[in-house]
Structure formats: C-alpha cells, structure tokens
Structure 1
Amino acid sequence: MTDSTVFQEASNVLTEATQASVAQTEAAQALTAEVANKTAAIDEKVNQAIALLNASLDIHIDGLFNKRIVSEPAFQIDAGTLKSYTDLSVEVNGVIYSFSEGSALALPSSVTVGTDYAIYATPDGLVVSANFTVPEGYTASTSRRVGGFHYQDGEINEYSLYDLRYYPDARNWLTGANDPRGMARVPGVGWVDIYYLNTTPDLLGTSAFGAQIADGASPPKKPQYWGGDGVVQYSDFSQYTASRVLAAYGKRLVTTHEHEQLAFGVVTGAKVGSDPGTVQYHADTTSKFGIVGATGVMWQWALERWDRGNGASGYSWMSGTDGEGQRYTAGSEGIGAAIVGSAWDDPEPGPRTSHWSNEPSTSHSAFAARGRSDHFESC
C-alpha cells in the first residue's frame, strides 16, 4: 500500500469521525433544548400550583378560628375557673394567635348577675368583656370576638358557653345577625332562652334578666321585622302572637316534650306565690341548665296544637285567628293548644306539668313564652 493510499484512508476516517461528532453535538443540542422546554413547562406548572396554594391559604387564614374539639365549646369551667378547653388558633386582623388548652380567662373585676359576656382573642391573650363590640382598651383591629357566656346567680352558666363554631342558630331575620345572648344548651332539645320572652325583644333580645315579662296583660311590642316601629304593641299574647314574635329572631316555642327536659332539676311543687311581673331568679324554680322560671312562675305556651273534633262531623268555618283567615273546626273551641310549667299559684308545678284546655287564640295574664333554637357546630 502506497503512502498516498494510507493518507487517503486516514483522511476518510477523520472525516467520518468529524461528521459523527457533529451529529452527536447537534443531537445533544436538540436534547438540551427539549429538556429546557420541558423544564420551563414544569416550572410554569409549579408556579401555578404555588399560586393556587397561596390563594387557598389566604382564604383559610382570613377569618381563621381553629380548635381541635368540635362537639364541645372551646371554653369550659374547670374547678370554678373559666379556661380554654382546647388549643386554639385565631386570626385577628391578619395575624394568627395561638392559645393553649387550659389557658385561664380572668373575669372583669366586677361582674353583674343576669349579664352576657363576650370572649375576645387579642395579642395579649383571651379577654372577657361585657362590651359586645370591642373590649375595653382594644379596637376592632386588635381584638376579635370568639365566644361568650351568660353570668347568672353568682356564677357562669356552663351550658351557655359558646364559640364561633359552636353556638345557638338564632338568627335575627331583620339584621341577619346571630344572637346567642341569654341562651343555654339542653341535651335533646337544642338552645333554650334562659328567661321568658319580654315586652321589648328588639331592644333587649328575647331573653333578658329583669325585663318585663310578655303575657296577656303586657303584650310585647311588634318586632321591626314584622312591621313594628318600636311603639306598637300586640293586642294580646295568644299562642299565635308568641310564635310570631319568636320567629323574627330565628326561634320557636318549645314542645311539651322539650319542656320536660329543659325543666329537669326544679323542685317539683315549688312556686313563687304571686305574679312576678318581671324576670327574677328563684332557685327552686330554676332547672339544672339554668332555665329560670321553668316551673311554678308562669305558664308557658308550648308548640303543640291538635284537633278536638272527631274528624267527621260538627265542623264549620270559625274565626279566632287574629284576623288571619279562618279555621275549619268542630266548634269555636275545636283546636287545642298546650301550655306547660304551671303559674305562681296554680297546682302541681313540675317539668311534666301541662294544661290542654286552651285555644291558640287564648290570651291570659299568667301565660308567658320561651324561645328555642337549633344548635350549630362545625369543624
């Protein structure tokens, strides 16, 4: 083989190697570009996911009120001291504050019987105040109302404790605001007004200590939701009227079955002896759940109505609906309406005491009413 032949073969080998190298370089560049494109696409997806996560976190942080225990209020009485029953995380003006289980809450230096108190989360801890707008020394930016309770008979009613995720579902139909004041939760019943319905529920709420009791001699003022102006009173206090008034505040009358439970713990047979006029406390007529005047003070309208006829004969159209239509009943007393609890001078007051001879249109000075609402809780 001549030198020229060897040189030519070497040149061919070198050319082939160069071409292969160029091809490999181009393939590597293409692969690098593909990887870069895919990396950019992945980065975009990641950024989208982060944005969605941040948005989700913003939603949950705004208004955050987190507690580990759902089926109990966040606050309870422990050996006479008000404490947080669980660890709490609460957002106040964009800042999250944590409060440990067992944290003690100091009551105001002076507490008043028959008063509702609010619990606030603040940068300084959990604060109790009778002010339902902001606690003393704080503003709306440095505090947030997260619960509350009713103080009666020299102590906190433990059944009245509530928080933002555990409370009576008693929504004022005019304002849309939920009003937990003056209520206690009773097993198998729901939340019950501690006190009788009063004559000025738009002003005081439906359950207020010391207020004038709404009854046949002192009918309540018409709620603004039903067209009231703060002056006009109903002409009577029939079962119809009592039901109408309570409905404006997201409540209804209790049933005879519910009264049996909410009045548990009273002294059967105990009674106050005279028309009280205003809501007052008497130990013997107050139930285990702090329901004042459950028996032996005023009869209370119950929810039940029934047909007194035989269902077949003697029926005709009758008035007696406070001007809202007529009733097809067996005579003028064809519909029965129950009352419960017994009055100040009537016989046999007790949790299961009931009276079944009245009509829903009856109005009497010894007939009062008490509201009841459903329970709400969420995780």
Structure 2
Amino acid sequence: MGGSIISALIQFNEGTLANPAEINQNFETLRQAVNANITENTNINSEISNINSNIETISEQVMPDLNFTKTDSLFITSGDKNSITLKAGTVIRLDVAEDDVRYLEVKEDTDYNIYNIMDTGAGSLTAGQDYYLYVVKKDIANDETSEIVKTVELKASLNSTYPDGYTASNSRKIGGFHTNCLAITSANAPQTDHALIGYNAGDIVPETVWCLSHRPIATPEGMSYDDRLDLWVDCYNTGGSDGDLTSSFGATRTCNITYQALAERLGKAKKRFPTVDEFQILADGANQKTAIYGSAQPSPDTTGGHLDTAGKAMVTPKGVWETNGLQWQFVRGVSGDGGSGFATTDGSGAKGQTYGTARIVSAGGGWAYSSSCGSRALYADGALSIAHADRGGRAVSQPLRV
C-alpha cells in the first residue's frame, strides 16, 4: 500500500516553485490513504476479535478431552450416594454423523439421580460393580410442526461399550464409577469418623468416579483416586489369572506368585506396586492391628467385603479393601543382601538369574499375624523368590495427563 501512495503523489523538482493546487492534491491523497489505513486496521482488529471468539468456543467444545491440570480436570463428581454431578462449563461433543454433531452443554453444576438415567430403568445399583456414563442421542418431535429437535441426554449403564437401546455411533462414553460392595455403618466401620459410614451396598463410592480427563493410564475399573498421592489405587487386592489380572469384587485372589512375575504382569496393564510410603498412606484409615475374621485364609478366597476379627469392615475411607490383615502385599523395590553365585529366583530362569541374595518388602500383614497387621506393617525379610498363599499384590496407576 505504501508504494502505491508514493507513486500517486505529484513529484516536484528541487529549486522550483511548487503549484499550490498540486500541493493540496498531494495532501488530499495522503489524507485518503490515512483514512483507508484506519479502516483497514479496524477491519483487521474485528477479524482478530472474531478469531479469538471462535477459539474460545472451540476450547469449550474440547474441554473434557484436552489441557487439564490435576486440580481442575474432574468434570464429573459424586457428593451423594445415588447421584452424580456434571460441573459447570462442561461441554461434551457427540458425533452422530458427519452432518450431525451435537453437544451436551452444562452451564451450572447439574445433579443427576442415577436411577433416573439408568438405561434399563433399574431402581438400584449392584454392589461392587463398575457403571459407565454416556452422552447419547435424543430426538424430540414437535407435535405442532413435526420438526425434529436434535439434542442429547445422559445415561448410566452396566455396559462398558454402549447403553441398552443405543449403538456405538449414537453414544459416547464419558466416565464411570464403582459401587460400594458392603454396607458401612457406625457399628462395623474401622474408624469412628470413617468417610463411608452410611454408605449401603450399591452406593457410589465418590473417589472411584472417573471421566475423560480424570482417570488412570490403566483401565479405570475397580480403582479409587487418592488425592494425597495423586495416584489411582486398586480397590481390591489383585485377582484373576495370568493375562486376566483384575481389581474387581469377588475375584479369586492372586497368590502363590513371585514379585517379579506379578510386577511384570501388572506392568502390561499399566500398573505397578506402591512404594512403602505410598502404601502406608493409601492403607491408613482401614482396620489396624487386626487380621481377617477367623485369622485364616478365607474360603472362598475372593476379594472385597471382608470383616476383621473385631467385626469391622476392612476398608479405607476411599473404598480400598483389605489393605491390612488379609495378605502381605508386595511393595516396590528390591534390595541386595550379599551372597555369591547366580541362582534362579523366578520360574525357570528363562529371563535371567540373580547373583547373590535379593530381598523384597511386603506390607499390610497376612491373616496369621493379627496384632502386627496395619498400614505400617512391613515384612522385610522376604526372598525375591518367595511365593506363598499369604503373599500377593495391590496395584496403583499414574493419572492420565491430557
């Protein structure tokens, strides 16, 4: 623009008297150029404002999926035993088709009674189960105009794929939660101020609520978030068999397995053993100085819902079961204890041998140790090769950073 203005100006020869009319014409040309520049700048600023507005709108639309810190990532909570809350400012996108994109927009904190949004219409939740939350397609017909209003609604389901009556193309999983497996009362709570007093079997355990932006890197089923550690913790001792390890209520407890074998399998599931200090924090608030009722291996030997020798539920305030008094749980780390020569410490030794004596530490206490059990109980003389019925694992997982 500058070059075209200069070329439009009348040129004067040095040392000659300029014509006043030509001078005025140059001034007019410059005035018009300045006004045009002002108009152009105004238009550019307007375009920038529009772009910024669009960016803010787009940011709101992707909010559940991107750019969160630990303190503001949870857009689904549960402050009540039978309801969940979607936080203000949440916008969830549902792609029904290429030309049919819908949004669930929450302008203020909104509570949902869980029974009112169950896909099956169930009036109660099953104890010790994982439930899932979905945004689903909803079409509303206008009786007067026959116009179809395209919108969305929230559904809860036991299904991990999509709710009953819907498909993968008209629903989107946005979160879930785990339910309490045993009623906690003032009589059976391990602490007088236990956070789960009054929670019945089937009620939503608040710390198990997860969503797209607040969840572990592992699958979130059967896990509870501990904000003191910024870790997700398995609600149950590790259960299941090789290739199918799980944290679930009523699973067969995984035992008679070495530290190395279980650590490797948990690693494949994006989980690990807690450290000693992590364990004593996550296990605090459960029963202390007691073992499982009967002080013997339970029969059936399944996870969750057990009472101790004092008749107290073996659960932490965050819904983590049987940390203390059922089994010694491996904690992270191996130490050396001298010695010489190579020996097989795990299986057939197909993945290598250990030189000297390696030791591991286990925590929480087994059924035979009664008053020695607790959140700070440690068994610090375990050989790396140990594999007993009263030894097993409890896993943790890092939060997903999105």
Tell me if TM exceeds 0.5.
Answer: yes
Which residues in structure 2 correspond to 1:1-379 (within 5 Å)?
24=24, 28=28, 31-32=31-32, 35-36=35-36, 38=37, 42=41, 45=44, 49=48, 53=52, 56=55, 60=59, 63-65=62-64, 70-71=71-72, 73-84=74-85, 86-93=87-94, 94-99=101-106, 100-107=108-115, 108=118, 109=122, 110-122=124-136, 123-140=151-168, 142-153=170-181, 154=201, 155-170=203-218, 179-189=219-229, 190-200=231-241, 202-203=243-244, 206-216=246-256, 237-267=257-287, 268-272=289-293, 273-275=296-298, 276-283=300-307, 284-309=313-338, 314-321=339-346, 322-329=349-356, 334-348=357-371, 349-376=373-400
Counterpart for residue 6 of structure 1: none
- Aligned residues with identical type, % of pairs: 22
Query: Cα offset for 1:194?
Result: 0.8
Letter in 2 for 1:32: Q
Structure 2 unaligned blocks of 5 or more: 1-18, 95-100, 137-150, 182-200, 308-312
Query: Cα offset for 1:111?
Result: 1.8
Larger mean CA deviation between 180-189 and 59-68 belongs to 59-68
Contact 1:70–1:166 (Cα < 8 Å) also in 2: no
Q: Secondary structure at the match of 1:375?
A: coil
CA distance in 2, matches of 1:202, 1:59: 41
Describe the shift of the 1:294–1:69 C-alpha distance in structure 2 as closer, same or farther (beyond 3 A).
Answer: closer
Q: Secondary structure at the match of 1:167?
A: coil
User: Deviating runs (4+, > 6 A) in structure 1?
Assistant: 66-69
Q: Secondary structure at the match of 1:126?
A: strand
Describe the shift of the 1:372–1:79 C-alpha distance in structure 2 as closer, same or farther (beyond 3 A).
Answer: closer
CA distance in 2, matches of 1:376, 1:69: 10
Contact 2:73–2:213 (Cα < 8 Å) also in 1: no
CA distance in 1, matches of 2:401, 2:208: 14
Larger mean CA deviation between 22-31 and 95-104 belongs to 22-31
CA distance in 2, matches of 1:244, 1:50: 53
CA distance in 2, matches of 1:201, 1:72: 33
Query: Cα offset for 1:244?
Result: 0.3
Query: Cα offset for 1:29?
Result: 5.2
Letter in 2 for 1:253: F
CA distance in 2, matches of 1:350, 1:32: 85
Letter in 1 for 2:221: R
Contact 2:327–2:367 (Cα < 8 Å) also in 1: yes
Structure 1 unaligned blocks of 5 or more: 1-18, 171-178, 217-236
Describe the shift of the 1:68–1:185 C-alpha distance in structure 2 as closer, same or farther (beyond 3 A).
Answer: closer
Deviations 1:310-334 (A, max 9, x none): xxxx5444432533233332xxxx2
Counterpart for residue 184 of structure 2: none
Describe the shift of the 1:201–1:168 C-alpha distance in structure 2 as closer, same or farther (beyond 3 A).
Answer: farther
Query: Cα offset for 1:247?
Result: 0.6
Contact 1:89–1:96 (Cα < 8 Å) also in 2: no
Aligned pairs, number: 322
Query: Cα offset for 1:367?
Result: 1.6
Q: Secondary structure at the match of 1:258?
A: helix
Counterpart for residue 16 of structure 1: none
Using the size of structure 2 for normalisation, the TM-score is 0.68
Letter in 1 for 2:127: V
Letter in 1 for 2:233: V
Contact 1:184–1:291 (Cα < 8 Å) also in 2: yes
CA distance in 2, matches of 1:115, 1:339: 28
Describe the shift of the 1:328–1:260 C-alpha distance in structure 2 as closer, same or farther (beyond 3 A).
Answer: same
CA distance in 2, matches of 1:286, 1:194: 9
Query: Cα offset for 1:286?
Result: 2.2
Root-mean-square deviation (CA, aligned residues, Å) is: 3.3
Letter in 1 for 2:104: Y
CA distance in 2, matches of 1:201, 1:59: 44
Deviations 1:133-190 (A, max 9, x none): 22334444544322221012212111111222222232xxxxxxxx111101224332
Q: Secondary structure at the match of 2:90?
A: strand
Letter in 1 for 2:114: A
Q: Secondary structure at the match of 2:398?
A: strand
Describe the shift of the 1:25–1:258 C-alpha distance in structure 2 as closer, same or farther (beyond 3 A).
Answer: closer
CA distance in 2, matches of 1:139, 1:40: 53
Deviations 1:285-307 (A, max 9, x none): 22222212212222222213222
CA distance in 2, matches of 1:27, 1:78: 72
